Structure 1
Amino acid sequence: MTNPLFYAKILLFGEYGIIEDSQGLTLPYSFYKGALKFSSLQTDFERRSNESLKQYAHYLQTLELPLEYALDLKQLEKDLREGLFFDSNIPQGYGVGSSGALVAAIFERYSVEKYQAETISKEQLKDLKRIFGQLESYFHGTSSGIDPLICYMNLPILIENRESVDKVSLPAQKEGKGAIFLIDSGEVGETGPMVQIFFEKMKTEGFRKTLKEEFIRYNNACIDHFLKKDMNPFFKNLRALSLWAYDHFKPMIPKSLYSAWKDGLDTNAYYLKLCGSGGGGYILGFTKDYPKAEKMLQGFEKEVIYRF
């Protein structure tokens, strides 16, 4: 495949919690994608992308990667002179992994050793996560490496803790009334400032305590019940998680969704949660009755990503 596509990703569960060793669950999202391509750089988009990649290549020169994960940077620089750019429709600042897909594409094309997603061991996943964290730090200051890993693997990934990740199977979709969906807040979110707010909150003992004792417990229970397809306890914990976020993550919730978030909690028709760091971009919705939720959320752009 000359131009492999790299899909966006969605972090279903684990936002902020994974910083504090909670579990996380992520899946690829094929609605958005990106691929490395060559052109004569006629358009502004292509020229800007090529220029950004040149700056990124300078950063890559400064890294000391282990031999088995080394990149062929001479070939990358040659390709950049010949018009390489990243053709992507993944929106930036929406929490769906725009930089993750780029990092995955660069690694797939320029890694000296080639890997097959199906045969990568759990130990290699751990190594790749660390390497991808270094490669993506250019874009975010620091990176867990999770986003590029999901984009690279193109498989659902269970984040077991800060160090360990594993491939996982999601329950098969079926055409029921239940759905997980994205809501477009209409605002762009910036990861850096949101993460800064989180770390400021972590300085207070009360917040640290409730994060560990409540948020992480609800978050991990949601993942466990969802993977087992136990939908009643899943929604019970999801409601608790949504309410906790409404009380404690208010600065991360886009203002346009404050009242919709509360309406869901008041009516139990649907529950909302952050998708990534928040502040804008997408918000995740969960409901047992999508037609009813859709009616209540009129005026917002929505996209169903999973049916049950």
Structure 2
Amino acid sequence: MKGPLFYAKILLFGEYGIIKDSKGLAIPYNSYQGALIISDDADEKAKDSNQKLREFYQYLLQLQDPDIELRLEEFRNDIEKNMHFDSSIPQGYGVGSSGALVAAIYDKYADNKITVLENLTRDKLLKLKSVFSKMESFFHGKSSGLDPLNSYLSLPILINSKDNLEATGIPSQKEGKGAVFLLDSEMIGETQPMVNIFMNKMKNEGFRKMIDRDFARYTDDCIDDFLHGNVKSLFGNVKKLSKVVLKHFKPMIPDSFHQLWQTGIETNDYYLKLCGSGGGGYILGFTQDYEKAKKLLDSYKLELVYRF
């Protein structure tokens, strides 16, 4: 048995902001994917995944939430047959490895499931997000449910606020010089400690004001520019966002990248921002000249996400 593929996701804009009810934009990232598989020849990775599924099954069993209608007996039987999640999505990199797993399990075992083929009203999207949030909380302690939602639907999702989501279209890619890219920090990032740091910072009135006044505003402007194809304005707003993140989110940026981040802002050759919660994993980059940025960042592994 091999189930359908579920893809990684990239939160282009909105990290941390969506916790505080500002806008976000998440897109599927098809370079990485995973699928549920039952096979006899299990290597160490497959055994680890199977063990994780056993723990997840116990969590779902105890959850007993009426909104989560899963055929748990069938799930348990498949686990006993050595089912595992065969995935190329790197863990701890901010691209939704646990989200893809949750999406795959919902797709296979949910009764009365909402599918991508039906009319995705706001209520249906919110219901899905709520179910996914409760399921994915097993992995992160607290989850918005956005990663599994993006992976399950394989559509760009625009988050207007906590209770206002919509599937959206993004401008088709051009063969231009500009690009969005991923930069590999070659460190694992853990979501929970980073979110805890953010929540502690939110106790500070000055930080809260900065989130409302600068961070949320620049994020919203970036999303509007990106969706409307206003590339010139987008880069101006990404630069502002990059500056704010470097100044106020330093603990979420690995120390060895602080200077690289600053150099991009000073030279305008590229701008960096967090990809997910930070602390390691991928860093998102925006550049108006990808070939030049590649040369400047030639000691790092880059992956192309989107072309302007």
Q: Which moved more, 1:228-237 or 1:268-277?
A: 228-237
2:159 is equivalent to residue 159 of structure 1? yes
CA contact (8 A) 1:65 1:131 kept: no
CA contact (8 A) 1:260 1:297 kept: no
Give the match for residue 298 of structure 1.
298
Q: Which digits, 9 at most, give the CA deviation of each residue in 1:229-261, with x for residues without a partner? A: 111221111111000001001111122321111
C-alpha displacement at 1:42, in angstroms?
3.1
Q: Which digits, 9 at most, give the CA deviation of each residue in 1:163-191, with x for residues without a partner? A: 22110000010110010000001111111
Q: Any residues of structure 2 matched to 1:151-230 within 5 Å, and which?
A: 151-230=151-230
Whole-Å separation in 1 of the counterparts to 2:34 and 2:26: 18
Aligned residue for 2:152, secondary structure, equals: helix
Q: Any residues of structure 2 matched to 1:107-186 within 5 Å, and which?
A: 107-119=106-118, 120-186=120-186
C-alpha displacement at 1:40, in angstroms?
1.8
Whole-Å separation in 2 of the counterparts to 1:144 and 1:202: 18
Whole-Å separation in 2 of the counterparts to 1:57 and 1:116: 23
Give the match for residue 99 of structure 1.
98
Give the match for residue 46 of structure 1.
46
Whole-Å separation in 2 of the counterparts to 1:91 and 1:210: 32
TM-score with structure 1 setting the length: 0.97
Give the match for residue 71 of structure 1.
70
Whole-Å separation in 1 of the counterparts to 2:140 and 2:130: 15
Aligned residue for 2:170, secondary structure, equals: coil
CA contact (8 A) 2:158 2:166 kept: yes
Provide runs of 4+ in structure 1 moved above 6 Å: none
Give the match for residue 28 of structure 2.
28
Whole-Å separation in 2 of the counterparts to 1:42 and 1:57: 19
Give the match for residue 253 of structure 1.
253
Whole-Å separation in 1 of the counterparts to 2:73 and 2:164: 32
Whole-Å separation in 2 of the counterparts to 1:223 and 1:60: 35
Whole-Å separation in 2 of the counterparts to 1:168 and 1:65: 30
Q: Which digits, 9 at most, give the CA deviation of each residue in 1:242-291, with x for residues without a partner? A: 00001001111122321111111001111110000000000000011111
Give the match for residue 280 of structure 1.
280
Percentage of matched positions with identical amino acids: 52
Distance 1:118-1:256 versus aligned 2 partners, 3 A rule: farther
Aligned residue for 2:35, secondary structure, equals: strand
Whole-Å separation in 1 of the counterparts to 2:161 and 2:114: 24
RMSD between aligned alpha carbons? 1.3
> Structure 1 unaligned runs (5+)?
none
CA contact (8 A) 1:178 1:289 kept: yes
Give the match for residue 56 of structure 2.
56
Aligned residue for 1:103, secondary structure, equals: helix
Letter aligned with residue 217 of structure 1: R
Whole-Å separation in 1 of the counterparts to 2:163 and 2:72: 28
Aligned residue for 2:26, secondary structure, equals: strand
Aligned residue for 2:173, secondary structure, equals: coil
CA contact (8 A) 2:2 2:36 kept: no
C-alpha displacement at 1:41, in angstroms?
4.9
Whole-Å separation in 2 of the counterparts to 1:48 and 1:300: 29
> Structure 2 unaligned runs (5+)?
none
Whole-Å separation in 1 of the counterparts to 2:43 and 2:215: 46
C-alpha displacement at 1:208, in angstroms?
0.5
TM-score with structure 2 setting the length: 0.97
CA contact (8 A) 2:2 2:35 kept: no
Aligned residue for 2:22, secondary structure, equals: coil
Aligned residue for 2:303, secondary structure, equals: strand
Aligned residue for 1:194, secondary structure, equals: helix
C-alpha displacement at 1:112, in angstroms?
1.1
